[in-house]
Structure 1
Amino acid sequence: MHQALRWMLGGALLLALPACDANQVFEKNQELDKAVWTVQEKPTFEFDIQDTTQRYDVYFNIRNESMYGYYNLYVKHTLLNPSGQRVSQLLHQMLLMDPQTGEPRGQGSGDIFDHQFLALRNQRFSEPGVYKVVLEQYMRQDQLPGIMAVGVRVAKAAR
């Protein structure tokens, strides 16, 4: 399949996911150059929180090609408050493929798959303002081919 068509189809899938969610506060995805996530590349996502009484769920979006060489992906996140202070920092293991069968997980068609992982459940933001989430690939490999895009989604948690 032509590369441009693959990107358009994959983009349509990611755009279709949040279209009917009234609880969504923020969602943004960043494409990675040549579908390679380098160790030096640390995508940063900024979102505004005004309601500090509400709890939020924070998701990580991952788009990968079927040629990605592992069944999992380790990602470290750092969450910073409006003052720039670290609120949390955790290492997450995300299963992109079934470890036993190698079957891709997530939504997709052809050789592109989109995943959304609940990373922070019922997150409380103690002060209003702009928060930042920084994502780092933690696979101990300078260049990680097969990861096309990463993103963050923030939604109001169910009460």
Structure 2
Amino acid sequence: MHTFLRGFLALAGGLLLTACDPAEVYEKNIDLTSPAGDPYVWAVQNKPTFEFDITDPAPRYDVFLNVRNTADYSYYNLYARVTLTGPDGKIISRKLHDMNLMDPKTGEPLGNGSGDIFDHRLLALPNQEFSQPGTYRIQLEQYMRQDQLPGIMAVGVRVALHQAGK
């Protein structure tokens, strides 16, 4: 029963993250496993890459990182390097993000969720300019001091039209 409940909560959380939004240009999440096939482990050598098309470079965009973790995750934060590459193959941005997944003082989980699964949507590249139409690529790398990072179920990227004041 516990496995069923966990699967149901994961599905419900995924539906919440992918709810219809007219500003959304792209969203994709990838489930993580260790090289040995253990679920919910983000290995340092696993660098998920997301490709999305920008057809209109005129507006600005917001780029979000999606993270799903279990309550068993051992740290309050997650360091991830985000590399944005343009259609010409040149790196546009490379930033290291420190994302709080739990309150550093109380240890209470942040994000949306119930039970032992929590979803986070973190603004990584606000008001991003894409100078030309084409296919862009974002690569995520976990930058923690542990090669195998248990408790991270999935990571993803969301690109949406920038909405001032939100």
* Equivalent residue for 2:87, pick from 78, 82, 85: 82
SS in 2 for 1:22: coil
CA distance, structure 1, for counterparts of residue 11 and residue 103 of structure 2? 24
**1:29 is the counterpart of 2:29:** yes
AA matched with 2:9:
L
AA matched with 2:124:
A
AA matched with 1:94:
M
**1:16 is the counterpart of 2:11:** no
Q: Which residue is equivalent to 1:44?
A: 49
CA distance, structure 1, for counterparts of residue 5 and residue 97 of structure 2? 31
What 5-or-longer segments of structure 2 have no aligned partner? 34-38
**1:152 is the counterpart of 2:144:** no
What 5-or-longer segments of structure 1 have no aligned partner? none
CA distance, structure 2, for counterparts of residue 71 and residue 40 of structure 1? 22
Q: Which residue is equivalent to 1:96?
A: 101
Q: Structure 1 length normalisation: TM-score? A: 0.96
CA distance, structure 2, for counterparts of residue 76 and residue 152 of structure 1? 13
Q: Which residue is equivalent to 1:141?
A: 146
AA matched with 1:30:
I
CA distance, structure 2, for counterparts of residue 119 and residue 146 of structure 1? 21
* Equivalent residue for 2:62, pick from 41, 57, 60: 57
Matches within 5 A, 1:100-111: 100-111=105-116
SS in 1 for 2:56: coil
Q: Which residue is equivalent to 1:118?
A: 123
Q: Structure 2 length normalisation: TM-score? A: 0.92
Identity within the alignment, %:
62
CA distance, structure 2, for counterparts of residue 4 and residue 149 of structure 1? 18
SS in 1 for 2:46: coil
Aligned-residue Cα RMSD (Å) equals 1.2
Question: Are the aligned partners of 1:69 and 1:146 in contact in 2 as well (CA < 8 Å)?
Answer: yes
Corresponding residue pairs, total = 159
